Amino acid sequence: MKPLKLIIYIFITLVCTASLSAQEQTTTDSISLRSILNQVITNYPAIKKSELELNAADARIGLAKSGYLPDVSINSNYTHIGPLSSMTLPQLGTFDLYPADNYSASLDYNQTIYDFGKTAKKVAFENQSKEVVKLTTGQLRQKLSLSVANIYYSIVFLQEAIRIKDEEISTLNEHLHFIEKKKETGSATQYEVLTTKVRISTIENQKTDLLTGLKVQVCQLNSMLGLPEKTTRLVKKELLPVQVVHSTDSLITLATQTREEMKIAVQKEALSEFHYKIVNMENNPVFKFFASGGVKNGFIPNINEGKMNYAVGVGLRIPLFDAHRTKFNLQQVKADIEGNNEDIELARRTIINEVVESQANMQSATQKITQSQLQLKQAQQAYDLAVTSFKSGVITNLELLDSSTSLSESGLAVLKAKIDYSLSLLKLKISLGEQIY
């Protein structure tokens, strides 16, 4: 029996040592967090849509600038009219005052000479709008990065937990075989056999739950990467080291200066102010130049003969009454400005909450790492004592299994604490406006 006990001891010790190792998994199919982030940020449909919105913003800027350019067109028409008006002069006969068939073709040119800043304000407004689109795209990238990080570390934990459950099941099966042999010799009872089988069944159920959770998380990851839902891929175990974090006040100050949410809120306020100026200038005069030249008939004395003609001039439009449209538009824009001020305050409060929460989670995870490592050390010592006691016949093999299970769970607890810390650190970086992709 002693060689088998020694094999069991060595096997369980290797299992627990492997669960504590921070070395990355090196399977050929494994993928790192950075690689996942790069693929998602590059190919995710929402990101591509935001890039198209940037193209639309450029188009709106070009449309606003078109106010500086002339409007040139060719116009032609043909009209047949009747009855005709005519006049009769003694000794000269009867004359038509205009032809029955009228035609004309002309080249028309219209150019705004001065609109008192309306076009300039519209161009500035569209440029500011494009900046909002850029900031919104960055905000979307940050949200996607956080979602990917959550999925990634969930998969890391589930992969490790499943591996440990597999090793526990394998060890229990060996013990079951060992106990069944002892039972045949009368050294073990049916109770020990049934208890071991119950343990195996319990761990298999736990493994089933873990496999289900892993399948869901992998499906979500495949959706992020644009891969078929049945694609199976392992992820590398990348855990971040414990870092020194600045004070809460300095973090909040930094976050309110760098977060896209705050920049977007401020930018929207500036946009509302631009919009107010544009609306306020709607009733400004517009000074234009126009010119037209072409050919048409209807000129005396030969009204049916087409002749070259032209017209050149300037025009001034001064709005006097617009049925109070400008007044009500200004009231609406003022309400938008006040609403944007509230958005800035709301963004500030949200950022503060996220920074404080992330920092608190980091501190909690750091303490859990220390406590779980101490617990692991104690579990290792308890297991060593259990092995010695088992060899001496003081305890049963079930008590040895209890000790080995506690050691495995302690190792998993250390991993869970480190994963929580890594995820909390990434959340803190995102809450500070730092790009993790």
Which residue's entry shows tokens 């739950």? Answer: 209
Residues 6+ apart with CB under 8 A from 31: 233, 234, 235, 236
92 phi and psi, to 5 degrees? -110, -20
Computed over every residue of the chain, the mean pLDDT equals: 86
Containing domain of residue 40, as a range?
2-69+115-284+319-431
Which residue's entry shows tokens 């990355």? Answer: 24
Query: Residues 76, 104: contact at Cβ < 8 Å?
Result: yes
Please report the pLDDT score of residue 162 as a whole number.
Answer: 94
67-113 pLDDT, tens per residue? 899 999 999 999 998 888 777 777 767 777 778 888 999 999 999 99
Please report the pLDDT score of residue 88 as a whole number.
Answer: 77
DSSP 8-state code for residue 31: B
14 phi and psi, to 5 degrees? -65, -40
Query: Residues 98, 302: contact at Cβ < 8 Å?
Result: no
Question: Is residue 28 situated within a structural domain?
Answer: yes
Give the distance, in angstroms, between the CA of residue 14 and the centroid of all CA atoms in the same chain: 41
Question: Is residue 305 situated within a structural domain?
Answer: no
DSSP 8-state code for residue 83: S
Question: Is residue 103 situated within a structural domain?
Answer: no
Question: Is residue 41 situated within a structural domain?
Answer: yes
pTM score, two decimals? 0.76
Please report the pLDDT score of residue 16 as a whole number.
Answer: 42
Q: What is the pLDDT along the chain (437 residues), one digit of tens a residue?
A: 444 443 344 344 434 444 434 333 333 458 899 999 999 998 899 999 988 999 999 999 999 999 899 999 999 999 998 888 777 777 767 777 778 888 999 999 999 998 888 899 999 999 999 999 999 999 999 999 999 999 999 999 999 999 989 988 988 898 888 888 888 887 778 888 888 888 899 999 999 999 999 999 999 999 999 888 888 878 888 888 888 888 889 999 999 999 999 999 999 988 998 888 888 888 889 999 999 999 998 887 788 888 899 999 999 988 888 888 888 989 998 998 899 889 999 999 999 999 999 999 999 999 999 999 999 999 999 989 988 887 787 887 778 888 888 888 898 999 999 999 999 999 999 999 888 87
Q: Which residues pair with 72 in a beta bridge?
A: 109
385-436 pLDDT, tens per residue? 988 887 787 887 778 888 888 888 898 999 999 999 999 999 999 999 888 8
DSSP letters, 113-156, are EE-TTHHHHHHHHHHHHHHHHHHHHHHHHHHHHHHHHHHHHHHH
CATH for 192: 1.20.1600.10
Question: Is residue 421 situated within a structural domain?
Answer: yes
Question: Is residue 64 situated within a structural domain?
Answer: yes
Tokens matching residue 329 = 């538009």
Question: Is residue 89 situated within a structural domain?
Answer: no
Residues 6+ apart with CB under 8 A from 335: none
Question: Is residue 312 situated within a structural domain?
Answer: no
Number of structural domains in the chain: 1
3-state secondary structure 360-406: HHHHHHHHHHHHHHHHHHHHHHHHHHHHHHHHHCCCCHHHHHHHHHH
Query: Rounded distance, CA 415 to CA 22, Å?
Result: 9
Please report the pLDDT score of residue 81 as a whole number.
Answer: 87
